[in-house]
A and B are shown apart, each in its own frame.
Chain A
Amino acid sequence: MLAFTFRRILVALAVALTVSVASFLLLHLSGDLATAIAGPEATGPQIAQIRQDYGLDQPLLTQFLTWGWRALHLDFGNSFYFRESVIDLLAARLPITLYLGIIALAVALFVAIPLGVVAAVKRDTWIDRTALAVSVLGQAMPSFWFGLTLILIFSVNLRWLPVSGNASWKNFVLPAIALGYYAMPAVMRLTRNGMLEVLASDYVRTARAKGLPPRKVLVRHALRNAVIPVIALSAVQFGFMLGGSIVIEAVFSLQGLGQLAWESIARNDFPVVQAIVLVLAMIYIGLTLAADLLNAFLDPRLRQS
């Protein structure tokens, strides 16, 4: 386990390095940053001045090393737009996105796990088929449209919840549903398949044969084992949600990291965009690392490869 952990951490660090190079290159090679920063009305000398001011005339490698070295110390420079340090901006916005992500994940698990269990226990009945239909439908729904539709139903027609903003917990209910439903189908299917496998196993049959009450067998013996891969999947899904929250935050005007990213992209505020890509990637790498380690800890067979 120790060797596996060490190897896995090494890979995670290497991936983190590659991602930072990639996100740096993507922004620098997709177009001329100086022209983009200067705006459409800038003259040649102005662009040249900007190129010099931001160090964009240096060789790419020098630029990257400077940026990377600072990033290691959590110094992402200053925002072009806000004239304050990028890290302060991120620190103000990240908690909102994390909060949204955690509620969304909770919503997803709260719905998807019971649904998966019931679908497995009542296999091939109408309940199972309905659960499957819901998950197929869920995967096909554009998240931003789902969000807008939720606003129409619950904020405009029923007037239960606020339309936008992030003043109270009520503001997070609809965005969390809109973000969380996306993870539901995967969690539901994994729970269902895991339960089917576990319910057919010898130890569940033994538990039943011993005369244990069905509910106890289901929760203590079956669900406990079937839910293990779901935990790992949840970690990965959480990472995806943080990345996907940009769309949901735009719909609900939540002032989180995603909204900041969107506005910064529209404003050509590249230090902010770059830092957000990096931070989200690092969170994702950390989560998958945790998920892998958890899986390997619980299932020794995975430590071999």
Chain B
Amino acid sequence: MSLPPDTAALAAAALPPDAPVALAAVPSPTRLILRRGLRHTGFLIGAGILGLIVLAALAAPLIAPHDPYAQDVSRRLIPPVWQAKGTWEHVLGTDKLGRDYLSRLLYGGQISLLIGISAALISGLIGTVLGLCAGYFGGWVDSVVSYIVTTRLAMPVVLVALAMAALVGGSLKVVVLVLGFLLWDRFAVVTRAATQQIRNQDFVSAARAAGLTDLRIIRQEILPNIMNALIVVATLEMAHAILLEAALSFLGLGVQPPLPSWGLMIAEGKQYMFFQPWVITIPGVALLLLVLAINLLGDGLRDITAPEARN
């Protein structure tokens, strides 16, 4: 196997500062990552699609052609513009209550992104703390954390999430909390493994010898070094949370009407799908694109920040 061109640059970066010839050509790690990113097709596609969706969702109040909640029974189930009876006034058609589908789709993007990000943040916090403790302290702490992870994995996520959401009453906040408290397992597993790998390296031993407290070592030496791996897991869990929210809302126990959650839009369109298939195709494709973009971005980030972990 031949070395990738980046390796030469990395090797050059490791040279002592009194090697002036190499210095001018050495890019900083940030630029190196940026350069690899610009060559990674999957990463670029993912970042592009995700960027568009985020922009569209954020700009929803400005670009949405109609009020996403405004009902008009005389304009029910108008097909999208590319079909024979479609109109430019409702580019993606209207739903069973005459609400503009494009506007609902744009606002629905906000919900998916909000839930994905918040759930990933909560589960990231829980999983990272557990993983750091397990990986850094080892011994019985490690055993206890591994045990907690095993137990969590044995619980059927969809079922437990549904049951909890039903008891508390489904709402956006409840969905975020339930998913946040259920999806931390991968964070814990990855953080634990990454921490174990660097726990005994020289710079950590040096910090320990210098008398730093465990908390400071974890914060200053370990956390920055596992950040890349954490970001990759965060993207995967974000995608996972978005899919689960859609499933919960589809089953009627997640985000509640009249909010335009994409999963809920599919549930509401289900009874009309035999004659108007686009009512489920449009929000379904939106979900597919969003999750695909996040996954491509995550896979790309892994390749870019840790090329040795490929395959």
Q: Which A residues have a C-beta under 8 Å from some C-beta of B?
A: 11, 14-16, 18-19, 22-23, 26-27, 30-31, 33, 36, 136-137, 139-145, 148-149, 151-152, 156, 193, 196, 242-244, 246-247, 250, 258, 261-262, 265-266, 268, 273, 276-277, 280-281, 284-285, 288
Contact = CB atoms under 8 A, between A and B. Distances in A.
Contacts of B291: 139-142
A244 B161 CA distance: 12
22 contacts: A15-B150, A23-B160, A26-B163, A27-B163, A30-B163, A36-B167, A136-B296, A142-B284, A142-B287, A145-B283, A145-B287, A244-B158, A246-B162, A247-B250, A250-B250, A250-B251, A273-B159, A276-B159, A277-B160, A280-B156, A281-B156, A284-B156
B247 interface: yes
A142 B263 contact: yes
Contacts of A280: 156, 159
B292 interface: yes
Nearest to A152: B277
B189 interface: no
Most A-side CB within 10 Å, residue of B150, B155, B239: B155
Interface stretch (B23-31, B211-219, B266-274): B266-274
B221 interface: no
Nearest to A277: B159
Contact of B147 (A14, A142, A242): A14
Given A148-B280, A151-B273, 10 more contacts: A11-B150, A19-B155, A22-B155, A137-B288, A142-B250, A145-B266, A145-B284, A243-B157, A243-B159, A244-B156
Q: Interface of chain A, helix or strand or loop or mixed? A: helix
Given A14-B147, A137-B292, A242-B156, A247 B251 contact: yes
B164 A261 contact: no
A148 B273 contact: yes
A261 B159 contact: yes
B94 interface: no
* Chain B interface residue number, banded: 35 or more
Contact of B158 (A140, A145, A149, A246): A246
B7 interface: no
B126 to A, nearest CB: 15
Nearest to B162: A265
Interface string B63-82: 00000000000000000000
B160 A142 contact: no
B57 interface: no
Contacts of A242: 156
Contact of A140 (B156, B273, B295): B295
B287 A31 contact: no
Contacts of B159: 243, 246, 258, 261, 273, 276-277, 280
**Which 9 A-B residue pairs are closest in the complex by CB-CB distance?**
A243-B156, A140-B292, A145-B284, A30-B167, A31-B167, A140-B291, A280-B156, A18-B151, A265-B166
Contact of A149 (B167, B168, B280): B280
Interface in B123-159: 147, 150-151, 153-159
A221 B5 CA distance: 35
A243 B158 CA distance: 7
A149 B274 CA distance: 10
Most A-side CB within 10 Å, residue of B166, B168, B263, B270: B166
A151 to B, nearest CB: 8
A35 B239 CA distance: 35
A141 to B, nearest CB: 6
Given A23-B155, A140-B292, A242-B156, A148 B270 contact: yes
A231 B99 CA distance: 49
A144 B154 contact: no
Given A276-B159, A285-B154, A193 B147 contact: no
A288 B153 CA distance: 10
B220 interface: no
A148 B268 CA distance: 13
A277 B166 contact: no
Contacts of A193: 311
A137 B151 CA distance: 30
Contacts of A15: 147, 150-151, 154
Contacts of A142: 243, 246-247, 250, 263, 266, 284, 287-288, 291
A152 B160 CA distance: 30
B281 interface: yes
B253 interface: yes
B163 A273 contact: yes
Contacts of B280: 145, 148-149, 152
Interface string B21-42: 0000000000000000000001
Contacts of A145: 246, 266, 280, 283-284, 287-288
B252 interface: yes
Contacts of A268: 166
A247 B253 CA distance: 12
A247 B287 CA distance: 16
Contacts of A33: 167
Given A140-B288, A142-B246, A149-B284, A265 B163 contact: yes
B247 A281 contact: no
A27 B159 CA distance: 12
A110 B159 CA distance: 28
A139 B295 contact: yes
Contacts of A247: 158, 247, 250-251
Interface string B152-186: 01111111101110111000000000000000000
